[in-house]
Amino acid sequence: ANLCFMWRLTPRTLLSRYAVAWVYLACVIAVGLGNAALSSHDQAVLVSWASTSVDNLEHDPVLCLVVSAFLPVESLAAWPALIALALFGANHVLGNRRTAVVCAAAQVAGTVVSEGIVAFRVHIGALPAADRHLLDVGPSYVVAAAIAVAVLCGPWLARGAALADLAVLVFAGHIFAGLGQLQVPAVGHTTALAVRAMAGGALAWRRGGPRLAPPPCPPPQPAGHAANSKRPPRPPPRTR
């Protein structure tokens, strides 16, 4: 099925079929606007509270893992487009339930691996203790993971949109900068891409591809042909 089919759906069907993408997009916009309306001090407090830092993960891991995925702190105007380009393609491939599961897995894995490396390096003295409080928020792990599914499993339109998204994140967002030094954002994005590529590919394969449209109906047959097809065959002529 092609993503162009979504434009022929009714609004209600379009919302239900891509519910995860719509809900996540709306929540990120709402949380981002709410954060932008706060004072600078309150913004700093909110980001510090929601950050998936080592210290926060030790005390309240579930809350910070959830809230941080919806809290953009930079380039608020760009994130809705970046989310839409990646997530609708992934939602098209996996469906709502599988998209939600794999998005959550990518957010958790990207955070646990990147912050786990920080915790280990602090423990052995390779990093200062202050790095236990590094700020790490934003929807980029979810977006990076959605790109992997759309590129690997999506139709041509979803792949093109996801590749454009990836180009923006790499060349403008520098999401892999510092990977050689095991910096948190670079390690987290790499992990999210890998997790989504493996899990999303497996789920898409099990699902057997998206089922958006019913199979085409056979072409109508002429009335005479239909009537003749139901007529019993004539008996052979009698011979003496």
Mean pLDDT value of segment 49-77: 91
SS3 content of the chain, % helix, strand, coil (to 5): 70, 0, 30
**Confidence band of 67 (pLDDT split at 50, 70, 90):** very high
pLDDT tens track for 106-163: 889 888 888 888 899 899 988 899 989 988 898 988 998 888 888 888 888 889 999 9
Segment 77-83 long-range contacts (CB within 8 Å, at least 24 positions apart): 78/168, 79/28, 79/32, 79/139, 80/25, 80/28, 80/29, 82/143, 82/165, 82/168, 82/169, 83/21, 83/24, 83/25, 83/28, 83/139, 83/142, 83/143, 83/146
* 20-34, 92-106, 192-206: least confidently modelled range: 192-206
pLDDT value at residue 71: 94
CA distance 43 to 58: 22
Report field, pTM of the whole predicted structure over 0.85: no
pLDDT value at residue 211: 44
The helix/strand/coil state of 89 is: helix
CA distance 3 to 154: 9
CA distance 205 to 186: 28
CA distance 83 to 87: 6
Classify residue 6 by its DSSP letter. G
pLDDT value at residue 116: 87
Q: Are 70 and 27 in contact (CB under 8 A)?
A: yes
Backbone angles phi, psi at 115, to 5 degrees: -75, -30
pLDDT value at residue 178: 60
Mean pLDDT value of segment 189-194: 71
CA distance 139 to 117: 20
pLDDT value at residue 226: 45
CA distance 35 to 49: 13
pLDDT tens track for 14-50: 889 999 999 999 999 999 999 999 999 999 999 999 9
More confident residue, 214 or 131: 131
Q: Are 51 and 112 in contact (CB under 8 A)?
A: no
More confident residue, 80 or 220: 80
Which residues have C-beta within 8 Å of that of residue 217, sequence separation ≥ 6?
Answer: none
pLDDT value at residue 127: 87
If you average pLDDT over every residue of the chain, what do you get?
79
pLDDT value at residue 240: 46
More confident residue, 237 or 112: 112
Tokens of 57: 């993960």
